């Protein structure tokens, strides 16, 4: 299956600092990537949809000035948590949309990265 990488896998930072998380699709081009957060024992919560070359679309309740998303190329999207606070501590997961033809069949699915665990002290 397709591979999506995420870096770093975990990060610990002080309150007030900014943290950047990278998401890369390694073997396909993704015009659309998604950013999720997941709290312990809860389901995925979509934060924003990242479209290559245009502004991200944020879900209701997600502060766009706090969670900066950049999708500069077809294989890379970044999420920057600005002025992080302890309540931002969570598991952040990206996914990349694979839209096109794979192995001779039309496909429209998402492949997830391994996630980034952010702890803000």
Partner 1 sequence: QKEVEQDPGPLSVPEGAIVSLNCTYSNSAFQYFMWYRQYSRKGPELLMYTYSSGNKEDGRFTAQVDKSSKYISLFIRDSQPSDSATYLCAMTSYQKVTFGIGTKLQVIP
For the CB of residue 3, give the shortest distance to partner 1 in the complex, in Å.
Answer: 11
d(CA 115, CA 64): 20
Phi and psi dihedrals of 56, rounded to 5?
A: -75, 155
Locate 26 and state its tokens.
Answer: 């390694």
Between 12 and 16, CB nearer to partner 1: 12
Closest CB 29 distance from partner 1, rounded Å: 16
Contact between 90 and partner 1 per CB under 8 A = no
117 binds partner 1 per the rule CB under 8 A: yes
**According to the binding rule CB under 8 A, does residue 15 interact with partner 1?**
no
Decide if residue 53 touches partner 1 (CB under 8 A). Answer: no
Using rule CB under 8 A, residue 43 touches partner 1: yes
Angle made by CA atoms 69, 75, 79, in degrees to the nearest 5: 20
Alpha carbons 95 and 36: distance in angstroms, whole number? 8
Q: Per CB under 8 A, does 115 bind partner 1? A: yes
Q: How far is the CB of 64 from partner 1 (least distance, A)?
A: 19
| Cβ-contact 71, 21 below 8 angstroms | no
Give CA angle at 36 (95, 38), nearest 5°: 125
> Of the ranges 14-22, 60-68, 76-84, 100-108, which one interacts with partner 1 (CB under 8 A)?
100-108
């Amino acid at each position: 299956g397709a591979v999506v990488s995420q870096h770093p896998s975990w990060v610990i930072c002080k309150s007030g600092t900014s943290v950047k998380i990278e998401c890369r699709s390694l073997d396909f081009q993704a015009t659309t990537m998604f950013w999720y957060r997941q709290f312990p024992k809860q389901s995925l919560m979509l934060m924003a949809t990242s479209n290559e070359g245009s502004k991200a679309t944020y879900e209701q309740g997600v502060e766009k000035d706090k969670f900066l998303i950049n999708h500069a190329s077809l294989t890379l999207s970044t999420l920057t948590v600005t002025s992080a606070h302890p309540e931002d501590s969570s598991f952040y997961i990206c996914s990349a949309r694979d839209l096109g033809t794979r192995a001779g069949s039309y496909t429209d699915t998402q492949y997830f990265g391994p996630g980034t665990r952010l702890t803000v002290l």
